[in-house]
């Protein structure tokens, strides 16, 4: 996507071995003092603000943190500004880049999310950027970027160019009572308690994110080589919602029946049917005797 993804994994420890009296000193870890996380708005935007899951387009420039500089900006290590075009769009808040970028763009209380047109400077300790990873000097290196040592805190200038709302899939909760919809009203004999009926059916697990609410199919007796199901209504051979969904149907009719868990398999579930699943059945009544 950009240079920030081109890193070489490294261990953040430098061993200093010195011959002394026939022995050697133990490895000494290099301790890098980390600055506090800080966000500073230099321009407050006036457009839309992103939320987790949205796609953002930004300009950015990254520097090694330098405590001796008034603005804390040391050597430049990467920049979309140098290329003359924004960074590739990415989904914010889901770890698509690094945590520090997500936090800088979405804000951390009391600092609000950036808005389109806004500019923000972020001071990021190493654990919010690349941690113990390192990056050598890029090759080629037309913009003269510096290497990124292990455990480097960073300073970034961000500009929010655009926000593209993420796709939100609605999730409609299932009905809590038996729901019956007649798709085709039959004209033959009517099913009633005590009658023996034959029926063709297909069953799905309810999925509130789908337009027809039909999730994974778990059973069917429709198709070549299948046998019609014979049921004595009220006899207890099928789940209550299936039985009650047939009552009142006329031969030749079809129904869509949505069955809540307490009239299906409840907390136990069955085979590929999960615990507390709402079920949808498409029913076709063939005979009533």
pLDDT digits (tens, 9 = 90+) for 3-27: 443 433 333 333 333 333 445 555 5
pLDDT digits (tens, 9 = 90+) for 154-203: 999 999 999 999 987 889 999 999 999 999 999 999 999 999 999 999 99
152 vs 13, more confident? 152
Q: Is the alpha carbon torsion for 249, 252, 254, 259 positive or negative? A: positive
pLDDT digits (tens, 9 = 90+) for 77-127: 999 999 999 999 999 998 889 999 999 999 999 999 999 999 999 999 999
Closest to 59 (Cα-Cα) out of 82, 29, 37, 43: 82
**C-beta separation of 156 from 104 below 8 A:** yes
The pLDDT assigned to 94 comes to 87
Task: Give the domain 3-164 fold.
Answer: Chitinase A; domain 3 (3.10.50)
**C-beta separation of 61 from 76 below 8 A:** yes
Task: Give the domain 179-288 fold.
Answer: Chitinase A; domain 3 (3.10.50)
- pTM flag (> 0.95): no
Task: Provide the 3-class DSSP secondary structure of residue 105.
Answer: helix
For the record, the structure tokens of 65 come out as: 């943190």
Question: What is the set of active-site residues?
Answer: 201, 218-219, 239, 265, 281
For the chain, percent of residues with pLDDT exceeding 90: 85
Domain with CATH 3.10.50.40 in the chain: 3-164, 179-288
């Amino acid at each position: 996507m950009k240079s920030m993804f081109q890193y070489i994994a490294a261990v953040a420890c430098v061993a200093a071995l010195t011959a002394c009296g026939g022995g050697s000193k133990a490895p000494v870890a290099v301790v890098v003092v980390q600055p506090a996380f800080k966000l500073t708005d230099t321009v407050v935007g006036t457009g839309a603000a992103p939320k987790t899951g949205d796609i953002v387009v930004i300009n950015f420039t990254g520097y090694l943190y330098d405590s001796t500089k008034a603005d804390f900006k040391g050597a430049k290590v990467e920049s979309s500004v140098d290329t003359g075009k924004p960074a590739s769009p990415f989904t914010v808040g889901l770890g698509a880049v690094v945590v520090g970028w997500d936090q800088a763009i979405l804000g951390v209380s009391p600092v609000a999310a950036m808005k389109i047109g806004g500019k923000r400077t972020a001071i990021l300790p190493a654990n919010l950027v690349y941690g113990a990873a390192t990056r050598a000097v890029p090759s080629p290196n037309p913009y003269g970027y510096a290497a990124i040592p292990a455990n480097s805190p960073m300073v970034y200038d961000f500009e929010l160019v655009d926000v593209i709302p993420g796709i939100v899939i609605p999730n409609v909760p299932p009905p809590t009572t038996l729901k019956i919809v007649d798709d085709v009203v039959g004209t033959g004999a009517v099913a009633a308690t005590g009658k023996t009926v034959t029926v063709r059916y297909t069953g799905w697990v309810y999925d509130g994110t789908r337009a027809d609410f039909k999730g994974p199919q778990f059973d069917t007796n429709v198709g070549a080589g299948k046998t019609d199901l014979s049921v004595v209504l009220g006899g207890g051979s099928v789940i209550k919602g299936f039985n009650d969904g047939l009552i009142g149907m006329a031969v030749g009719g079809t129904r869509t029946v949505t069955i809540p868990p307490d009239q299906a398999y409840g907390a136990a579930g069955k085979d590929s049917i999960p615990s507390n699943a709402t079920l949808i059945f498409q029913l076709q009544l063939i005979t009533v005797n």
